[in-house]
Amino acid sequence: MIDKHNVAGSDSQAIHHRAEQLDALDAILPFDRRDQLAALLTDDDVATLKHLASEGMGENTLRALASDLGYLEAWCQLAAGSPLPWPAPESLLLKFVAHHLWDPAKRVEDPAHGMPAEVEAGLRAERLLRTDGPHAPGTVRRRLTSWSILTRWRGLTGAFGAPSLRSALRLAVKASNRPRQRKSKKAVTVDILVKVLQACAGDRLVDVRDRALFLAAFASGGRRRSEVAGLRVGDLVDEEPVRADPSDKASPPLPCLSMRLGRTKTTTADDDEHVLLIGRPVTALKRWLAEAQIKDGPVFRRIDQWGNVDRRALTPQSVNLILKRRCKQAGLDAALFSAHGLRSGYLTEAANRDIPLPEAMQQSLHKSVAQAASYYNNAERKKGRAARLII
């Protein structure tokens, strides 16, 4: 006869052991997710994540892999009644697509269509599922990609390239009829940025930090929130002052510094990418470092309710929340803006000012011309005559 108390105790000990193992990744994984992931992942999963960290995988990539792996394990346990198999059979991959991309109209007629109610309820209970309706196709593709990456790192070959899976994805995306959502519904262009900066125009340390954060993030090409959070003092190098107008030797000199980015979403640490900051953003950044007495380590840090500067860096999510809070204080609808709006806003503003696309891309470090050009195309449409035939 099985002693349920001993089984429960054994499970608890295993979870506690995995939590301790995940402590080694505390610089990458949010602490508040450690216990949740320890309960969702297997011992082999934790060993794989630690191996990837030791191999130098980027923190953002590893964080996303850990999150996706936790979701996949929870979904598989609920949908198939067992831990995630390695490699996953083709039938399980097809089931994953069917559970996450489905036709809302067909579900009205057939409640069994899409994700089963008990699976959905289990994921919601674990706070892993918040959306209503089918998932975003990009989210499903990303999780399948994470699944594929983790399969390869285990030295196995999966069925991720199977024609049946590609066909199922294509048909499911069409059936779900879910429009693609922008990461930020509205771009943070200069007119918006001015309002946000006015919301933090005070002399409190938190105001000084937020002004430096927004100016540096925007002027450096619209840096991603992870790049802003990961910026360190050693990444900033003073350069010789430059003229406000390069063609006019009589124009006033402006402070200049280079910002080293290292590993980004589209580069590796070996690329040693850097961008320039000139003028007001440099002044704001140096004032923040001086008043916060930061000489090394993270540039942008947490500040507690008493105004004390923490040694820890802001998290990428904190960067997003700070922008939303300041938007609300500026009288803007915070739901329309996110940190990615600084990136889209930079390119939109560059297009509005007729800055050549290649020049803007040198600062934004977009690798895809098509993606960067989309902001320019939108700006050109608004300035063009094609939409003004009848006005």
Q: Given pLDDT bands bounded at 50, 70 and 90, which one contains residue 212? A: very high
For 22-43, what is each residue's pLDDT tens digit?
555 555 555 456 667 767 777 7
Q: Cβ neighbours of residue 59 under 8 Å, at least 6 residues apart?
A: 27, 28, 226, 230
Distance CA 281, CA 215 (A): 5
Q: In the predicted model, is pLDDT for residue 58 greater than 80?
A: no
Average pLDDT on 46-71 reads 79
Q: In the predicted model, is pLDDT for residue 327 greater than 90?
A: yes
For 144-198, what is each residue's pLDDT tens digit?
999 998 998 888 888 998 898 888 888 877 766 655 555 557 889 999 999 999 9
374 versus 203: the higher-pLDDT residue is 203
Q: In the predicted model, is pLDDT for residue 4 greater than 50?
A: no
DSSP 113: S
Helix (H), strand (E) at residue 189: none
8 versus 149: the higher-pLDDT residue is 149
For 64-104, what is each residue's pLDDT tens digit?
888 898 999 999 999 999 999 999 999 999 999 999 988 88
190-383 fold: hpI Integrase; Chain A (1.10.443)
Q: In the predicted model, is pLDDT for residue 333 greater than 70?
A: yes
SS3 311: strand
For 266-322, what is each residue's pLDDT tens digit?
554 445 688 999 999 999 999 999 999 999 999 999 998 888 999 989 988 899 999
Q: In the predicted model, is pLDDT for residue 210 greater than 90?
A: yes
State which amino acid sits at residue 22.
Answer: L
Average pLDDT on 317-337 reads 93
Q: In the predicted model, is pLDDT for residue 19 greater than 60?
A: no
Q: What is the pTM of this model?
A: 0.61
For residue 80, CA distances in Å to 75, 77, 84, 93, 129 come to 8, 6, 9, 12, 17
Percent of the chain residues past pLDDT 90, beyond the cut: 39
**Per-domain residue ranges of the chain:** 13-176, 190-383
The helices-and-strands tally (H runs, E runs) of the chain is 17, 5
